[in-house]
Amino acid sequence: STYLPVDEADQAVLEHNRSVPVFMAHGMQDPVVPYHWGQESARKLRRFGFDVEWREYAMAHSVSVEEIQDIGAWLTRVLSR
């Protein structure tokens, strides 16, 4: 699961890193990090102009094979640019 406290992020840092693509994933049954924190972080980063790929999975606070495969596919796409 992932989230970014965007409200606390430095505006200048955000502006200088907009070209960095972002992969964010979250378990929909995560009891540790609230699901809506991840969703809202992705929305805010998009509003700042970031290219965010958001994925959600039917799991708790863990990693799945599907998520690892999605990260691998995303990295392959991003690094081939």
* Tens place of pLDDT per residue across the chain (81 aa): 888 887 777 776 777 888 999 999 999 999 999 999 999 999 988 988 999 999 999 999 999 999 999 999 999 999 998
Q: Where are the domains of the chain?
A: 6-79
**What integer pLDDT is reported at residue 5 of this predicted model?**
80
Exposure string for 24-61, b = 16+ CB within 10 A, e = fewer? bbbbeebeeeebebbeebbebbeeeebebbbbbbebee
Its pTM stands at: 0.85
Task: Specify the CATH architecture of the domain 6-79.
Answer: 3-Layer(aba) Sandwich (3.40)
pLDDT recorded at residue 37: 93
